[in-house]
């Protein structure tokens, strides 16, 4: 299969920005525009359906364009691949006036706006982005989606002092750092070519990315009140996924702060495709992480894991 033919199998996923629009009103709007609501994958350009795993996510036929759709222009809907909706749902951020959450690597901002929506626009979501140009894209996205609880910060997350009192109440962190992007379907053709070109160059690049990704997780574990950290990539390589998680679990930061993997029941339990057991030190850990395979799952390739701080009570029970 080529990247193009795989892309043709991915529905047009449309996430309702529930701060601005209810799912019921959105459905009524699309029905009034002539679309028929179905229970199954939309078979024609005139059908749509509700996603079975992600609340407030609608599926349209891959060839339906939203560029001229008013709800898209006004931020009431966000065009976001299904797999890319997993991290915010798994992080499950709190929604109250004193909630404090970090998105460590935010631009272009789809997951930031998803987090903001799940927080019902309450509390504070600190959204870091290192790159200046991408930071400006993030700002545009946040204003279009009318996110009111986000404080965008143009800075390197690794340079942030976890002991800064500003972040003392942060309980949840989303880490979706730069990765090889090897799961992105329309890049697959290119990747096949580049893989043929030089395996050693690719291996070196993946190793460098994995060291950086591990550093980001270890840094997040240093925030004093953090209870839950989601780490995700759009890479299909175990070296950036299971191997990074494995190294993070064995790190001094995880051991001293009592981090372990969240149980499978907290990580999209209805999603069948889990991690590669043979790539984890403890094969039982594979059930705690989620994978999406391009060409198989009607999404791009994706990986999601979640670290939680075990409480003193949990330890006494063991
Ligand atoms: N979560 C984003 C979304 O769903 O729209 C996509 C994030 S993208 C995979 C990774 C982003 O992290 C890039 O924009 C990159 O510039 C930024 N980044 C990489 N290293 C960073 C760091 N140390 N601190 C802050 N941002 C960083």
Residues 253 and 218 in one domain: yes
The candidate with the shortest Cα–Cα distance to 122, out of 147, 144, 145, 102, is 147
Does residue 193 carry a pLDDT above 80?
no
Q: Cα-flanking dihedrals φ and ψ of residue 169, to 5°? A: -105, 5
Does residue 191 carry a pLDDT above 70?
no
Options 85, 147, 179, 234, the catalytic residue: 234
Instruction: Quote the pLDDT of residue 2.
Output: 58
Q: Clarify whether 120 is annotated catalytic.
A: no
Does residue 139 carry a pLDDT above 60?
yes
Task: Work out the pLDDT band at 196, boundaries 50, 70, 90.
Answer: low
Does residue 5 carry a pLDDT above 90?
no
Task: Work out the pLDDT band at 60, boundaries 50, 70, 90.
Answer: very high
Residues 188 and 135 in one domain: yes
- Looking at the CA of residue 156, tell me the nearest atom of ligand 1: 24
Residues 151 and 278 in one domain: yes
Q: Which of 57, 79, 101 is the last residue of a domain?
A: 79
**Distance (Å) from CA 34 to ligand 1 centroid:** 38
Which of 130, 181, 184, 215 has most ligand 1 atoms within 8 Å of CB, for mutation?
Answer: 130
Does residue 295 carry a pLDDT above 90?
no
* CATH code assigned at 48: 3.30.70.1170
Average pLDDT of the residues in 263-274: 98
- Going by C-beta distance under 8 Å and a sequence separation of 6 or more, which residues neighbour residue 23? 16, 50, 55, 56
Does the bond joining 76 to the residue before it have cis omega, within 30 degrees of 0? no
Going by the annotation, the residues of the binding site are 129, 156, 176
1 assigned to some structural domain = no
Q: Which of 22, 47, 79 is the last residue of a domain?
A: 79
294 assigned to some structural domain = yes
The pTM of the full predicted model, rounded to 2 decimals, is: 0.94
Name every protein residue with a CB atom under 6 angstroms from any ligand 1 atom.
84, 105-111, 128-131, 134, 156-158, 176-178
* CATH code assigned at 143: 3.40.50.150
Residues 70 and 98 in one domain: no
Does residue 190 carry a pLDDT above 50?
no
Residues 90 and 72 in one domain: no
| Torsion 97-103-104-109 (CA) sign | negative
Q: Which of 79, 99, 132 is the last residue of a domain?
A: 79
4 assigned to some structural domain = no
Provide the pairing of β-strand 36-38 with 172-175.
Answer: unpaired
State which residues form the domain around 282. 84-317
Average pLDDT of the residues in 38-56: 95
Cross-strand bridge partners of residue 38: 49
Domains of the chain: total: 2
Does residue 194 carry a pLDDT above 70?
no
Mark residue 83 as left, alpha or beta (left: phi above 0; alpha: psi -120 to 50; beta: remaining): alpha
**Distance (Å) from CA 103 to ligand 1 centroid:** 9
Residues 111 and 175 in one domain: yes
Average pLDDT of the residues in 145-173: 98
CA distance 268 to 286: 13
3 assigned to some structural domain = no
Residues 98 and 36 in one domain: no
Residues 73 and 194 in one domain: no
Residues 51 and 110 in one domain: no
**Distance (Å) from CA 256 to ligand 1 centroid:** 27
**Distance (Å) from CA 208 to ligand 1 centroid:** 16
Provide the pairing of β-strand 12-16 with 77-79.
Answer: antiparallel
Residues 128 and 73 in one domain: no
CA distance 300 to 25: 28
- Looking at the CA of residue 128, tell me the nearest atom of ligand 1: 25
**Per-residue pLDDT tens for 246-266?**
999 999 999 999 999 999 999
């Amino acid at each position: 299969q080529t990247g193009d033919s795989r892309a043709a199998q991915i529905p047009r996923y449309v996430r309702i920005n529930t701060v601005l629009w209810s799912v019921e009103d959105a459905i009524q709007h699309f029905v009034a525009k002539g679309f028929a609501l179905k229970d199954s994958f939309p078979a024609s350009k005139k059908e749509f359906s509700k996603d079975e795993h992600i609340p407030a996510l609608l599926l349209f036929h891959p060839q339906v364009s939203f560029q001229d759709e008013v709800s898209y222009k006004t931020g009431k809907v966000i065009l976001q691949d299904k797999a890319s909706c997993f991290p915010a749902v798994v992080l499950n951020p709190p929604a109250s006036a004193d909630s404090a959450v970090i998105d460590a690597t935010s631009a272009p901002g789809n997951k930031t706006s998803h987090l903001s929506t799940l927080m019902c626009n309450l509390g504070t979501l600190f959204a870091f982005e290192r790159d200046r140009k991408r930071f400006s894209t993030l700002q545009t996205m946040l204003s279009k989606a009318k996110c009111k609880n986000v404080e965008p910060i143009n800075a390197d997350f690794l340079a942030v002092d976890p002991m800064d009192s500003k972040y003392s109440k942060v309980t949840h962190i989303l880490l979706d750092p730069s990765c090889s992007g090897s799961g992105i379907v329309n890049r697959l053709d290119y990747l096949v070519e580049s893989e043929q070109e030089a395996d050693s160059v690719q291996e070196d690049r993946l190793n460098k990315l994995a060291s950086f990704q591990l550093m980001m997780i270890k840094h997040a574990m240093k925030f004093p009140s953090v209870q839950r950290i989601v780490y995700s990539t759009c890479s299909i390589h175990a070296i950036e996924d299971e191997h990074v998680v494995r190294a993070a679990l064995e790190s001094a930061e995880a051991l001293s702060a009592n981090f372990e993997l969240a149980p499978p029941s907290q990580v999209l339990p209805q999603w069948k495709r889990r991690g590669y057991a043979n790539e984890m030190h403890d094969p039982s850990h594979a059930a705690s992480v989620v994978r999406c395979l391009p060409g198989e799952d009607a999404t791009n390739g994706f990986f999601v894991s979640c670290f939680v701080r075990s409480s003193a009570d949990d330890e006494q029970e063991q």
